[in-house]
Structure formats: structure tokens, C-alpha cells
């Protein structure tokens, strides 16, 4: 049985004081969740959010990490820095980072291996553009992203990874993939993991859907057999997030 994981991606929103406020609003609403709940927050909010959620069921996630351990990489943040600040999860390969900051599949592979080496739970994003979907190359594209991201990762380590399938055309657009569309790609991702690692890893790995998930559509999406959670952008900044976390109540 895979435990559902609902992660908020705050993106570049919330000053440290706003972040504390949001935690105080959300904490009482999500405290009885039986899903794994993660707040993935901007780097500067990590410490205040970790302080606010200490001793609760909330995990703190980062939105990025760098794959080197330390040194002359101005502006970057290492896995050890995240761990020492109370971070347990880290997003990598979000389409906004791929698009605006030119992150490649090879970068994501190095980040994934570093996060696993250090004991962080990686949330690896993948997904196609509208043009790729219309061209009929969605499955090939996502399989390629997964195969490169997982290069050099063992079957045991792969079980600890969370994959977030996020069609780019559904992110921040209010245009959600239908539950059937999301399920068929999440299943294709699980089949790809099965080819790479076998049944055990394929059945253990968790696959989220992300892209305009909200309180209205989450139940249908989360009922699908290969959708093990959600990565939530816009709706993670308001009380609505708690409705998604408690979708099964």
C-alpha cells in the first residue's frame, strides 16, 4: 500500500513572516491527515517554516538543491544545508526551473543522486508541453526524462523517490488534465520504472499528479490507481490546501 503524498509547491511566494502566518493557518487544518504532507518552500522560508511545524505531522521541503557538496557556487544551496535546516524532501526538475533556468535532464540526474546519497526524499518532476502532447510524443518524452533522471540510481534507492507528473500545459493555467489523461501517463511512468527496475520498485515508487489540482478535482484524480498524491502550486497557498490533504475524509 503506497501512502499518498500531498506536497505544496509555494514557488516564489511568501516572505518569511507571511510563511509563518500561512503555517499557523494551515497547521490546525491538516493535523489529522493520514496523507504525507509536505510544504515545499522558498529557501529563505525554510528555517521559519521548520520552526513553525516542529513537532507536527508536516514535512518541510525545498524547491531545489545543488549537486555539489560545497564550494564556489554562488547562490546555490547544498543537501547538507537543507538537512541541517530541517528539510526532508526536495523538488527537482520542475518545468519552471527547466524552462527559465535551463536545467537539463543531466542536471536533474546529478541532483537526484545527491539527494538520495544524503537521505533526502526527492520529488522529481517530469511532463510534456502542449505541443509535445499534440504531436503525440508525450509518452516518449516523459519516458526519456525518467530514464535520464534515474541513470545510476539503484532499485532500492529508486523506491524512495517520488515522481511528479506535471503536464506543463496544466501548471498554473487552471486547465487540469482529466483524471483519465493523468492516470494513463502515471501508469506509463510506473511501467517505465518496471522496465528499469522490476515489479518491486515499480509497485513501491510513488507518482504524484500536478497541474491545477484543487479541492474540486482532487478526489477524482487521487482515486486513480497510479496516482499516489499531488504536487500543488496555487492551491497550496490557501486553506484550500487542507481540503486536498483531507480529500478522503
Q: Could you list the active site residues?
A: 94, 166
Among 89, 208, 233, 242, binds ligand PEP (CB under 6 A): 233
Asked if 171 touches ligand PEP (CB under 6 A), the answer is yes
Q: Which stretch binds ligand PEP (CB under 6 A): 27-35, 47-55, 208-216, 239-247?
A: 208-216
For residues 208 and 210, what is the distance between their CA atoms, to the nearest angstrom?
Answer: 6
Q: How far is the CB of 19 from ligand PEP (least distance, A)?
A: 17
The reply to whether 108 sits near ligand PEP by the rule CB under 6 A is: no
Task: List the grid coordinates of 225.
Answer: 490507481
Among residues 49, 60, 213, 222, which is the contact residue for ligand PEP, using CB under 6 A?
213
Nearest to 163 by CA among 177, 149, 152: 149
Q: Outline where DSSP puts E strands in the chain.
A: 5-9, 36-41, 58-62, 87-92, 121-126, 162-165, 206-210, 229-232
State the DSSP code for 35.
Answer: S
CA distance linking residue 210 with residue 172, whole number of Å = 10
The interface region with ligand PEP, picked from 106-114, 187-195, 215-223, 228-236 by CB under 6 A, is 228-236
Q: How far is the CB of 232 from ligand PEP (least distance, A)?
A: 5
Taking the least distance from each CB to ligand PEP, the nearer of 202 and 231 is 231
Q: Sort strands 229-232 and 206-210 into parallel, antiparallel or unpaired.
A: parallel
Name the phi and psi angles at 98, rounded to 5: -65, -45
By CB under 6 A, name the binding residues for ligand PEP.
9, 166, 171-172, 210-213, 231-235
Amino acid at each position: 500500500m503506497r501512502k499518498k503524498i500531498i506536497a505544496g509547491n509555494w514557488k516564489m511566494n511568501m516572505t518569511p513572516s507571511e510563511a509563518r502566518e500561512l503555517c499557523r493557518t494551515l497547521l490546525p487544518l491538516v493535523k489529522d491527515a493520514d496523507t504525507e504532507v509536505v510544504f515545499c518552500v522558498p529557501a529563505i522560508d525554510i528555517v521559519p517554516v521548520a520552526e513553525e511545524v516542529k513537532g507536527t505531522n508536516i514535512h518541510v521541503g525545498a524547491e531545489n538543491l545543488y549537486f555539489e557538496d560545497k564550494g564556489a557556487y554562488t547562490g546555490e544551496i547544498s543537501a547538507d544545508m537543507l538537512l541541517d535546516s530541517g528539510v526532508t524532501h526536495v523538488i527537482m526538475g520542475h518545468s519552471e526551473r527547466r524552462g527559465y533556468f535551463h536545467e537539463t535532464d543531466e542536471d536533474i540526474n546529478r541532483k537526484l543522486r545527491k539527494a538520495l546519497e544524503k537521505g533526502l526524499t526527492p520529488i522529481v518532476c517530469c511532463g510534456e508541453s502542449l505541443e509535445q502532447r499534440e504531436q503525440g510524443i508525450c509518452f516518449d518524452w516523459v519516458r526519456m526524462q525518467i530514464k535520464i533522471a534515474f541513470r545510476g540510481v539503484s532499485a532500492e534507492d529508486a523506491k524512495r523517490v517520488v515522481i511528479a507528473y506535471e503536464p506543463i500545459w496544466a501548471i498554473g493555467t487552471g486547465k487540469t488534465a482529466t483524471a483519465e489523461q493523468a492516470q494513463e501517463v502515471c501508469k506509463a511512468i510506473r511501467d517505465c520504472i518496471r522496465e528499469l527496475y522490476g515489479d518491486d520498485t515499480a509497485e513501491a515508487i510513488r507518482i504524484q499528479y500536478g497541474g491545477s489540482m484543487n479541492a474540486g478535482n482532487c478526489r477524482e484524480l487521487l482515486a486513480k490507481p497510479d496516482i499516489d498524491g499531488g504536487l500543488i502550486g496555487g492551491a497550496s497557498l490557501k486553506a484550500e490546501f487542507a481540503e486536498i490533504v483531507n480529500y478522503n475524509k
